[in-house]
Structure 1
Amino acid sequence: MIVVGTRRAAFAVVAGMAALVAVPDIAQADDAVAAFPSRFVRLVVGQAPGGTTDVIARAMATRLSERWKQNVIVENMAGASGNLGAQNVARAEPDGYTLLMTYEGSQAMNPHVLPTTAFDAVKDFSPIATVARAGFLLIASPKTGIEDFATLVKRARAAPATLTYGSAGAGSANHLIGEMLQSKAGIRLRHVPYRGAPQATTDLIAGQIDLAVVSIPSIMGQVAAGTVRALAVTSAERSSALPDVPTAAEAGVAGFAVTPWWGILAPAKADPALVRKIADDINAILAEDSIKATFGKLGAEVFVTTSAQFGELMAEDVRKWGVTVKEIGLK
């Protein structure tokens, strides 16, 4: 009995010492969260400058810099349809000083069309908050003479795989949406992948390609200037920024509706308290009329979720797009 008591006492002493050691660690973690950010923050974008992800990231970076009194620096790391930037963030320290501005295409579609992905799109990140959502737009070069979606379908069926369409790269959201449109409309186009949507748009305006699938925020200026022709939006409802452009469903592709989201992630295992702090600041910005107006002019809308809801959304969209990729036979 004496031995047992001695062991219990020893265990109690060890447990007490461990608790004493843990208290400073917890206190330091709390202090780090309270002080965040104490230096500049990197906001990595896996797409090229000028695209929607970049534009939304810069709008948020400006407001976060003002709120945090620290610089939030947008860093473009384009490549592999957004995977290059995502991989960089997945491997970073989960201290909040390296964040990822991503979108549904990179996070939910890539795992099914880019099988060599070196990270898990869900497990290797801590979801912080969604930011915006916006439809995509099918556009034509004025040099094609294609005035509307019906004309496109007629010409594409008369000469299959002759008309070309550009995207932000193989496996990008632009590419996948383009393949879905073809499948649903019963036509065949020839895909021309680019490093980013801005490059595809440049070649379309020059007449090097016939069509392109681009996000609405990235193309508003060119639509207004008349250098591209808008044929159809991918969302279920018409865009408030382009009220005269029909939806794909209205144009004849029954039931077609795709409205991708944009959001901010941290590396996996980020402190939950830190995630809440960043999410609260992001959602406070999204509640401001000024950011709603900024996004509205781009053809996007504010999209607010909790971190938990964002995590559930990502997981569900990864599953959903896996089914879609199989249905259209895209590899």
Structure 2
Amino acid sequence: MSTVRVLHILMFAFCGMAAAQPYPSKPIRVVMGFPPGTTVDVLMRPIAQRLGEAFGQQLVLDNRPGATGIIATEMVVRAPADGYTLLATPGSALTSSPHLHTKIAFDTLRDLKPVIQLGAFAYVLIAHPGVPAKSVKELVALARAKPGVLTYGSTGLGSGFHLAGELFGSMAKINLVHVPYKGGPAVITDMLGGRIDLMFYSLAVVQPQIRAGRLRAIAVTGLARDPLLPEVPTMAEAGLPKYEIGGWHGLFAPANTPNAVVTQLNAAIARILGTVEIKELWISQGMGIVSGSPEAFAALVKSDYEKYGALIRSAGIKPE
């Protein structure tokens, strides 16, 4: 047998061995489009630690903030579809932000493969104590009596909190003035200072101020009351039937990632989400555990993408 033929046989044998290596055989990078300390980062770190222990491989968390998550998403979309580059993100970065940008290098439904939903949460509608309304009905009556006077803040144009306000205004047939901010700390500071009247926000973040009486909880936006503030009604209970909006965080892979890899990741993370420690941490963050199959998560992503796109268009919000 010639030397060349032997080399060919050895080369094919090596390639076969490499292809047969179980996943994962090297560290996995998880890209996040938001800074350390944000909710998606807080949730992903304990998952990464436990998943790394289960897989015997390190999970490297890579924070790439900017453009409401678009920069990080574009990085993952361009990465090899082999399961070694993943995206952890809040849902709004994929379901509402893309509708607000004319120059964007990915399609949420085409270029990403949902792996697992990490958690879901409702918002809370809060008012400054100086606002003379303690319920949704009183707030609607006040807004109708003073159209275009009441203000509500958000963490930015097209954010989930902004869209919650747009949905409220549309369903209640009231005119609220939207005041966008660049991030959560600024909007909370102005809310506490009485410079804006209302805000939709994550309950876990503003719960201390609500308990202290510095902010007033009007209603939560989910289908059920939140265990963090069980005395606060849902928007539907308070007079707006069918009002429901909220957020979620999830893990994604590039679109052509093998189904076997996605299934393996989904099963391993679902086991982690079922542990007592993670459940307790999620409750402290105002987060509900959903997990579920990749297919169920994909259906949610598609539904939210279409719902928020329609809401943005009906509100007349122009893409930049």
Q: Which range, TM-score by smaller chain?
A: 0.7 to 0.9
Structure 1 residue 149 and structure 2 residue 136: aligned? yes
Name 1:218's counterpart in structure 2.
Answer: 205
Tell me, in whole angstroms, the C-alpha distance in 2 between the residues paired with 1:193 and 1:48.
19
Q: By how many angstroms is 1:284 displaced? A: 1.0
One-letter code aligned to 2:108: A
Tell me, in whole angstroms, the C-alpha distance in 2 between the residues paired with 1:160 and 1:225.
30
Structure 1 residue 288 and structure 2 residue 284: aligned? no
1:273-293 Cα offsets, whole Å, 9 max, x none, are 322222221111012122122
Structure 1 residues 272 and 224: CA distance shift in structure 2, 3 A: same
Name 2:111's counterpart in structure 1.
Answer: 124
Name 2:5's counterpart in structure 1.
Answer: none
Structure 1 residue 205 and structure 2 residue 192: aligned? yes
Q: By how many angstroms is 1:171 displaced? A: 1.1
RMSD over equivalenced CA pairs, Å: 2.9
Q: By how many angstroms is 1:303 displaced? A: 0.7
Name 1:93's counterpart in structure 2.
Answer: 80
Q: By how many angstroms is 1:79 displaced? A: 3.3
Tell me, in whole angstroms, the C-alpha distance in 2 between the residues paired with 1:271 and 1:113.
31
Structure 1 residue 28 and structure 2 residue 15: aligned? no
Q: By how many angstroms is 1:106 displaced? A: 2.0
Residue aligned with 1:207, SS: coil
Structure 1 residues 175 and 21: CA distance shift in structure 2, 3 A: farther
Tell me, in whole angstroms, the C-alpha distance in 1 between the residues paired with 2:245 and 2:296.
19
Gaps of 5+ in 1: 1-17
Structure 1 residues 273 and 259: CA distance shift in structure 2, 3 A: same
Q: 1:139 aligns with which of 107, 126, 141?
A: 126
One-letter code aligned to 1:298: Q
The answer as to whether partners of 2:113 and 2:257 remain within 8 angstroms in 1 is yes
One-letter code aligned to 2:193: A
The answer as to whether partners of 1:129 and 1:263 remain within 8 angstroms in 2 is yes
Tell me, in whole angstroms, the C-alpha distance in 2 between the residues paired with 1:284 and 1:79.
32
Larger Rg over CA atoms: 1
Q: 1:171 aligns with which of 150, 158, 167?
A: 158
Name 2:145's counterpart in structure 1.
Answer: 158
Q: By how many angstroms is 1:233 displaced? A: 0.7
Gaps of 5+ in 2: 1-7
Q: By how many angstroms is 1:137 displaced? A: 1.2
Q: 2:31 aligns with which of 44, 56, 63?
A: 44
TM-score for the superposition, normalised by structure 1: 0.82
Tell me, in whole angstroms, the C-alpha distance in 2 between the residues paired with 1:20 and 1:188.
73
One-letter code aligned to 2:275: E
Structure 1 residues 62 and 226: CA distance shift in structure 2, 3 A: farther
Select between 50-59 and 208-217 the one with higher mean Cα deviation: 50-59
Tell me, in whole angstroms, the C-alpha distance in 1 between the residues paired with 2:41 and 2:262.
22
1:271-316 Cα offsets, whole Å, 9 max, x none, are 3332222222111101212212221232221112222332233223
Name 1:267's counterpart in structure 2.
Answer: 254
Equivalent pairs counted in the alignment come to: 312
The answer as to whether partners of 2:160 and 2:246 remain within 8 angstroms in 1 is no
- Report % sequence identity: 37
Tell me, in whole angstroms, the C-alpha distance in 2 between the residues paired with 1:102 and 1:252.
32
Select between 56-65 and 102-111 the one with higher mean Cα deviation: 56-65
One-letter code aligned to 1:124: D
| Greater fraction helix | 1
The answer as to whether partners of 2:24 and 2:55 remain within 8 angstroms in 1 is no
Tell me, in whole angstroms, the C-alpha distance in 1 between the residues paired with 2:287 and 2:96.
20
Name 1:297's counterpart in structure 2.
Answer: 284
Name 1:14's counterpart in structure 2.
Answer: none
The 4+ residue runs of structure 1 with deviation greater than 6 A are 18-23
Structure 1 residue 229 and structure 2 residue 219: aligned? no
Tell me, in whole angstroms, the C-alpha distance in 1 between the residues paired with 2:122 and 2:13.
49
Tell me, in whole angstroms, the C-alpha distance in 2 between the residues paired with 1:51 and 1:85.
15
Name 2:4's counterpart in structure 1.
Answer: none
Name 2:236's counterpart in structure 1.
Answer: 249
Tell me, in whole angstroms, the C-alpha distance in 1 between the residues paired with 2:171 and 2:20.
52
Q: By how many angstroms is 1:215 displaced? A: 2.4
